[in-house]
């Protein structure tokens, strides 16, 4: 489709030479790839010393097919809803907009279990919707919240909101000159979306689709809680039962390899897809609202999404305000778990940022497709490696090195969480780093900036917000982690999610609801504060 | 940055300070499920009670489930730091015994008050309960009195159960149906299918769904209503008494051959079945104690209905058939 303005990537690309960045990125990529290999090797070698078990392997082909259908549906729905929501949020301005955006953004990192319970509070048999229906119509609505419907609903809440947050950032970054040109040409809302918005979104789509597909493919607590039973299963669930229940390490390795193999195809396809760099620019101030029918559609989308997405999370918050609140806060375990969670989250967020910047800037510094795949694929592999396999592998590795698991606990939890957030960090930082390299590469070259100067003078001022988003993402992922810590937690080393599970396991549903609400408040606060703080900080230094 | 640096420092110091756990005193490491070790569970009380008399340090290490505790010891083999594994039950005891990791406890264990006579040379029982469906009396007027009555209810009558592969109550239900119906068990599962709102990974999830009103009954224990009576001060929860009888879960602990503190471990197992330790169990683990506590057992426990008939399966049969029975049950509700 011809565009009325020159596209930056239509010119031959001239990238400044960045050998150090390439080297750093290569080292990180190799290290994270080596870790995957080590993890699998340590499980395989433990399996070698184990007698063959009689426990039959589940039907892998069937599991792959079921998981793939569910994941494909989740991806398509999430991208559709996410695009519509990003489009609406980009056009509309209203009081509390930032809070709404943060709430949507926080969905992705909210522990699946909390979302599932929030969903039930609203849509369940005894949920709010049915309570209203009972009062108004004296009848209950049979909502298909268990089974495939429930799984898809929960995935769309988690993933569409995440997609919307990423896509909104791309829309907000469209330079005002383009908007002015578009306004001057009096583009209709549809034409405007096709010629201005879509090119800005396109580059992000393959990576985003791959991430959502893999998230849904490897989904675990949601599938177990809302799936309604063994009819709806994922490969990840089969791996969990092989590792934790049947103690069939042979089977676990085979299933994990099947999952990693299948997911790798998706990852390679996505990372080979050369992303179209989106242009960067200050987004402050400029806006161009649609009118009439389009505006009505935008409001409808927004309201539907608030009811659909925000209500379940609000239900979690509402559930936390109970009379047990002071008593729980007074327990010594609560402040200690809170402090541990905050410390682990902060450190693992910083580690994620360093790794993602290293990989992302190296990737942006080369045009060779093979190098680009090699730099991104290992990080994306952590979307495919089941958390239970990662945790078990780390556990065995630490023991092989002669370290007590309890001693290594904090370090391993920080590292494990950072690795699991890395794909999201790369997806967030990658496109803007590429945009800087291809859009400003010529300028950087002609000014003769060094790699460090390029970061301080060009990238940092432009990427402040994205850096804040990455930190918030990684922090919140780590805050909600249950997979890694389940192997390493002790009585002296526990986090908020462990506290939540302990309360649930001891009939204390009220206490669990409070912990869930506290985690959600921290998540939303991190998502509101961090991107804004870093955007301001980097702006101030620009 | 300053704040972050301080946090980093705190973690590093915490890391360094951890292994310095009282080098002068012997320490007893017990692997158990998280709920037992956690602050709501019996762990802290038992630790304090035993430390007062043993001149040692007790270290509870919680794993995500009791089966998880066993798996961890199997992974670690002879190099494990665990002295005792606590929280296995009679359904998994056969498999645990077959690992050859457990040592005879050598205790006389007289004066136990259990639904069965206890002769196990390796495992020591510390509490028990009967699997049962728990319901809300204000919502369910006519609870089913058997699996057949449950199946005959309209399909809007929902139950939340646990996955037999991941959770001991889930496995308990499987054995319960097997013990009551034998080879007809898959038919019962087929009949239950439309009533199953979900087969959750853990008791926590299933019971949570029930408390939220998503299910009319959840698979739990006959002792669950005692929790609500004592802590929540409500008597609206009850367990449905089934005419087929109920299956008992007896939770056990065992000491490991690899333990460097054999005497201490044996001493702990003895303490575990003593009256002072048993007094801690009912209101922290919400199960029956294994000795007669007399007036020290909260009245709410005595008020609970006892099953009309006790069902059980022997260990060898369970160990030999468990995997097939699980596959059959899952196939029936798929």
Task: Give the torsion sign (CA, B287, B292, B294, B296).
Answer: negative
Q: Are residues B38 and B104 in the same domain?
A: yes
Nearest Cα neighbor of B229 from B219, B241, B217, B237 is B237
Q: Is B233 exposed, middle or buried (0-12, 13-18, 19+ CB in 10 A)?
A: exposed
Q: Residue B97: which domain range?
A: 8-128+250-302
The alpha carbon of B270 is separated from its chain's Cα centroid by a whole number of angstroms, namely: 20
A-interface mutation test, from B165, B166, B225, B283, most A Cβ less than 10 A away: B165
Size (chain B), residues: 334
| Cα angle A432-A437-A438, degrees, rounded to a multiple of 5 | 100
With beta carbons under 8 A apart, name residues in chain B contacting A241: 165-166
Inter-chain contact B227–A507, Cβ cutoff 8 Å? Answer: yes
The pTM of this model reads 0.77
Q: Is the Cβ pair B38, A244 closer than 8 Å?
A: no
Q: Please, which residues 165-184 of chain A have a Cβ atom closer than 8 Å to chain B? A: none
| Cβ contact B203–A411 (<8 Å) | no
Rounded-to-integer distance, Cα B107 and Cα B266, Å: 8
More confident residue, A140 or B4: A140
Q: How far is B178 from chain A (nearest CA, A)?
A: 19
If asked whether residues B116 and B140 sit together in one domain, one would say: no
Do the chains contact at B201 and A506, CB–CB below 8 Å?
Answer: no
pLDDT bin (cut points 50, 70, 90) of residue B279 is very high
For the record, the structure tokens of A461 come out as 């001022």
Rounded Cα gap, residues B42 and B282, in angstroms: 9
Interface test with B, best of A505, A515, A516 (most B CBs within 10 A): A505
> Which chain A residues in 214-273 lie under 8 Å from chain B, judged by CB atoms?
221, 224-231, 240-241, 243-247
Count Cα atoms within 13 angstroms, Cβ side, for A57: 17
Chain A interface, best mutation among B14, B287, B300, by max A CB count within 10 A? B14
Burial degree of A2 (CB within 10 A; 0-12, 13-18, 19+): exposed
> Taking 80 as the threshold, does the pLDDT of residue A108 lie above it?
no
- Residues B21 and B169 grouped into a single domain: no
- The distance of A502 to chain B (nearest Cα, Å) reads 6
Range scoring the smallest mean pLDDT among A7-21, A181-195, A425-439, B112-126: A7-21
* Domain tally, chain B: 2
Q: How confident is the model at residue B23 (pLDDT cuts 50, 70, 90)?
A: low
A442 in contact with chain B, both atoms CB, cutoff 8 A: no
Question: What span, in angstroms and rounded, lies between the C-alpha atoms of B166 and B204?
Answer: 12
Does the pLDDT value for residue A418 go beyond 80?
A: yes
Q: Which of residues 27-56 of A touch B (CB under 8 A)?
A: 46, 54-56
B221 shares its domain with B160: yes
For residue B45, give both structure tokens: 């009380």
Residues in contact with A46: Cβ distance below 8 Å, sequence separation at least 6, in sequence order: A249, A396, B75
**Confidence grade of residue A279 (pLDDT, cut at 50, 70, 90):** very low
pLDDT at A207 over 80: no
Instruction: Identify whether B195 is part of a domain.
Output: yes
Q: A375 near A359, Cβ under 8 Å?
A: yes
Q: Are residues B152 and B231 in the same domain?
A: yes
Check if the interface score ipTM surpasses 0.95: no
* Among the partner residues A46, A121, A333, nearest to B75 by beta-carbon distance: A46
Which of A42, A154, A245 to mutate against chain B (most B CBs within 10 Å)? Answer: A245
What residue in B sits closest to A125 (Cα-Cα)?
B214
SS3 assignment for chain B: CHHHHHHHHHHHHHHHHCCCCCCCCCEEEEEEEHHHHCCCCCHHHHHHHHHHHHCCEEEEEEECCHHHHHHHHHHHHHHCCCCEEEEEECCCHHHHHHCCCEECCCCCCCCCCCCCCCCCCCCEEEEEEEEEEEEECCCCCCCCCCHHHHHHCCCCCCEEEECCCCCHHHHHHHHHHHHHHHHHHHHHHHHHHHHEEEEECCHHHHHHHHHCCCCCEEEEECCHHHHHHHCCCCCCEEEECCCCCEEEEEEEEEEECCCCCHHHHHHHHHHHCCHHHHHHCHHHHCCEECCCCHHHCCHHHHCCCCCCCEECCCHHHHHHHHHHHHHHHHHHHC
**Co-location of B29 and B157 in the same domain:** no
- Has residue B12 got a pLDDT over 70? no
- Mean of per-residue pLDDT scores for chain A: 79
Instruction: Tell me the two tokens of residue B112.
Output: 């136990």
- Please tell me which residue of chain B has the smallest CA distance to A486: B64
Tell me the average pLDDT across B13-22.
Answer: 44
Q: Is residue B2 part of a domain?
A: no
Across the interface, which of B71, B158, B205 has its CB nearest the CB of A244?
B71
Beta pairing, strands B124-136 & B237-240: antiparallel
Whichever domain contains B147, its CATH number is: 3.40.190.10
Among the listed ranges A332-341, A346-355, A490-499, which one has the minimum average pLDDT value? A490-499
Please determine, for residue A58, whether its predicted confidence score (pLDDT) is greater than 70: no
pLDDT band at B290 (very low <50, low <70, confident <90, very high): very high
What does the alpha-carbon distance between residue A322 and residue A510 come to, in Å, rounded to a whole number? 7
pLDDT mean over A140-168: 81
Q: Where in chain A do CATH 1.10.3720.10 domains reside?
A: 15-49+331-542, 56-318
Please list every residue in chain B whose beta carbon sits closer than 8 Å to the beta carbon of residue A508: 40
Pairing of strands B84-89, B27-33: parallel
Nearest to A146 among B197, B207, B224 (CB): B197
Of B39, B61, B208, which has the smallest distance from its Cβ to A490's Cβ?
A: B61
Report the percentage of chain B scoring pLDDT > 90.
56
Q: Pick the residue of A239, A341, A491 with the most B CBs within 10 A to test the interface with B by mutation.
A: A491
Chain B CB within 8 Å of residue A15 CB: no
CB B68 within 8 A of CB A241: no
Which tens digit of pLDDT belongs to each residue from A285-300?
Answer: 457 777 788 888 889 9
- The token duo for B317 is 């049969």
> What is the token pair recorded at A29?
């990529």
At A76 the pLDDT is 95
Rounded CA-CA distance A1/B331 in Å is 53
Q: Given this model, what pLDDT does residue B7 score?
A: 47
Q: B232-243 pLDDT, tens per residue?
A: 899 999 999 999
Nearest CB to B38; choose among A54, A407, A506: A506
| B205 contacts on A by Cβ (under 8 Å) | 113, 224-225, 504
Say if residue B74 is in the same domain as residue B177.
Answer: no
Same-domain status, B12 and B122: yes
Interface test with B, best of A134, A244, A322, A415 (most B CBs within 10 A): A244
Which of A121, A241, A399 is nearest residue B165 as measured by Cβ atoms?
A241
Quote the mean pLDDT of chain B.
87
Euclidean distance between CA atoms A353 and A455, whole angstroms: 14
Closest-CA distance, A162 to chain B, in angstroms, reads: 26
Displacement of CA B116 from its chain's centroid (Å) = 17
Cβ–Cβ contact A399 with B under 8 A: yes
Bridge partners of residue A405, in order along the sequence:
none
- Architecture of the domain delimited by A15-49+331-542: Orthogonal Bundle (1.10)
B108 and B135 both lie in a single domain:
no
Superfamily of domain A56-318, CATH level 4: MetI-like (1.10.3720.10)
Which residues in chain B have their CB less than 8 angstroms from residue A530's CB? none
CB contact under 8 A, B214 and A241: no
A-chain residue closest to B44, CA distance: A491
Q: Does one domain contain both B12 and B109?
A: yes
The DSSP letter of residue A404 is: -
- In 3D space, the residue among B93, B33, B39, B63 whose CA is nearest the CA of residue B249 turns out to be B93
Beta strands B124-136 and B246-256 are antiparallel
Look at residue B173 and tell me whether its pLDDT is greater than 70. Answer: yes
Alpha carbon A369 to its chain's center: 25
* B38·A350 Cβ contact <8 A: no
Do both B311 and B182 map to the same domain? yes
Q: Across the interface, which of B14, B62, B212 has its CB nearest the CB of A120?
A: B212
Q: Quick check: A247 and A198 in contact, CB under 8 A?
A: no
Do both B118 and B179 map to the same domain? no
């Amino acid at each position: 489709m011809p565009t009325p303005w020159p596209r930056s990537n239509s010119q031959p690309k001239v990238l400044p030479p960045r050998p150090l960045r390439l080297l750093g990125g290569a080292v990180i990529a190799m290290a994270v790839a080596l870790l995957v290999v080590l993890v699998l090797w340590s499980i395989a070698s433990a399996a070698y010393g184990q007698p063959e078990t009689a426990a039959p392997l589940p039907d892998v082909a069937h599991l792959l097919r079921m998981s793939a259908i569910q994941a494909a549906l989740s991806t398509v729905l999430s991208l559709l809803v996410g695009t519509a929501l990003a489009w609406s949020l980009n056009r509309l301005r209203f009081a509390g907009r930032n809070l709404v955006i943060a709430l949507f953004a926080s969905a992705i990192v909210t522990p699946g279990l909390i979302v599932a319970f929030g969903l039930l509070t609203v849509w369940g048999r005894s949920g709010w919707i049915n309570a209203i229906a009972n009062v108004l119509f004296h009848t209950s609505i049979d909502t298909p919240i268990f089974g495939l419907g429930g799984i898809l609903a929960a995935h769309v809440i988690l993933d569409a909101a995440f997609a919307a947050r990423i896509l909104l950032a791309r829309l907000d970054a469209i330079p005002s000159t383009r908007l002015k040109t578009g306004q001057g040409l009096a583009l209709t809302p549809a034409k405007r979306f096709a010629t201005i918005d879509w090119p800005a979104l396109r580059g992000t789509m393959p990576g985003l689709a791959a991430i959502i597909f893999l998230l849904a493919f490897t989904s675990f607590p949601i599938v177990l809680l809302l799936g309604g039973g063994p009819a709806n299963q994922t490969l990840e669930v089969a791996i969990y039962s092989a590792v934790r229940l049947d103690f069939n390490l042979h089977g676990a390795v085979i299933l994990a390899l099947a999952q990693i193999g299948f997911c790798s195809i998706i990852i390679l396809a996505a990372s080979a897809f050369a992303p179209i760099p989106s242009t960067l620019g200050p987004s402050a101030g400029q806006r161009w609202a649609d009118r009439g029918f389009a505006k009505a559609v935008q409001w409808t989308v927004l309201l539907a999404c608030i009811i659909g997405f925000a209500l379940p999370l609000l239900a979690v918050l509402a559930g936390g305000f109970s009379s047990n609140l002071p008593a729980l806060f007074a327990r010594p375990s609560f402040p200690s778990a809170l402090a541990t969670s905050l410390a682990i989250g902060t450190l693992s967020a910083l580690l994620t940022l360093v790794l993602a910047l290293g990989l992302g800037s190296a990737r942006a510094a080369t045009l060779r497709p093979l190098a680009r795949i090699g730099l991104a694929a290992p990080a994306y592999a952590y979307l495919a490696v089941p958390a239970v396999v990662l945790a078990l592998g780390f556990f065995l590795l630490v023991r092989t090195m002669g370290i007590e698991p309890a001693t290594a606990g904090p370090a391993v939890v920080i590292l494990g969480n950072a690795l699991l957030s890395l794909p999201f960090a790369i997806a967030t930082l990658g496109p803007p780093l590429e945009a800087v390299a291809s859009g400003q590469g010529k300028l950087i070259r002609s000014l003769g900036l060094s790699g460090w100067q390029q970061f301080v003078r060009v990238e940092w001022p432009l990427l402040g917000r994205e850096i804040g988003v990455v930190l918030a993402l990684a922090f919140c992922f780590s805050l909600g982690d249950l997979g890694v810590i389940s192997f390493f937690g002790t009585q002296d080393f526990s986090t908020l999610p462990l506290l939540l599970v302990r309360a649930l396991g001891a009939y204390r549903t009220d206490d669990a609801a409070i912990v869930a609400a506290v985690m959600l408040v921290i998540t939303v606060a991190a998502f509101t504060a961090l991107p804004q703080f870093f955007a301001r900080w980097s702006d101030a230094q620009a | 940055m300053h704040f972050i640096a301080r946090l980093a420092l705190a973690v590093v110091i915490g890391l360094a300070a951890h292994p310095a756990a009282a080098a002068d005193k012997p320490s007893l490491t017990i692997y158990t499920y998280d709920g037992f070790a956690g602050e709501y569970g019996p762990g802290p009380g038992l630790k304090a009670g035993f430390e007062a008399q043993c001149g040692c340090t007790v270290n509870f290490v919680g794993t995500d489930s009791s089966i998880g505790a066993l798996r961890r010891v199997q992974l670690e083999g002879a190099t494990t730091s665990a002295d005792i594994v606590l929280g296995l039950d009679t359904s998994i005891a056969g498999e645990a015994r077959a690992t050859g990791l457990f040592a005879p406890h050598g205790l006389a264990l007289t004066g136990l008050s259990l639904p069965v006579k206890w002769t196990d040379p390796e495992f020591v029982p510390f509490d028990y309960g009967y699997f049962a469906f728990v319901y809300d009396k204000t919502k369910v007027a006519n609870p089913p009195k058997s699996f057949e009555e449950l199946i005959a209810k309209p399909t809007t009558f929902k139950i939340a159960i646990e996955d037999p592969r991941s959770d001991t109550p889930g496995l308990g239900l499987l054995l319960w149906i097997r013990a009551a119906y034998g080879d007809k068990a898959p038919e019962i599962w087929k009949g239950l299918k439309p009533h199953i709102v979900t087969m959750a990974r853990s008791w926590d999830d299933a019971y949570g769904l029930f408390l939220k009103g998503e299910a009319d009954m959840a698979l739990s224990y006959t002792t669950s209503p005692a929790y609500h009576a004592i802590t929540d001060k409500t008597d609206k929860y009850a367990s449905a008494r089934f005419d087929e009888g109920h299956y008992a879960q007896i939770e056990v602990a065992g000491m490991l051959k690899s333990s460097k503190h054999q005497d201490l471990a044996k001493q702990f197992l003895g303490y575990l079945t003593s009256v002072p330790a048993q007094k801690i169990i009912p209101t922290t683990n919400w199960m029956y104690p294994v000795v007669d506590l007399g007036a020290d057992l909260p009245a709410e426990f005595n008020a609970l209905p006892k099953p009309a008939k006790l069902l059980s399966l022997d260990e060898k049969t369970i160990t030999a058939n468990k995997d097939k029975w699980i596959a059959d049950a899952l196939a029936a509700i798929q």
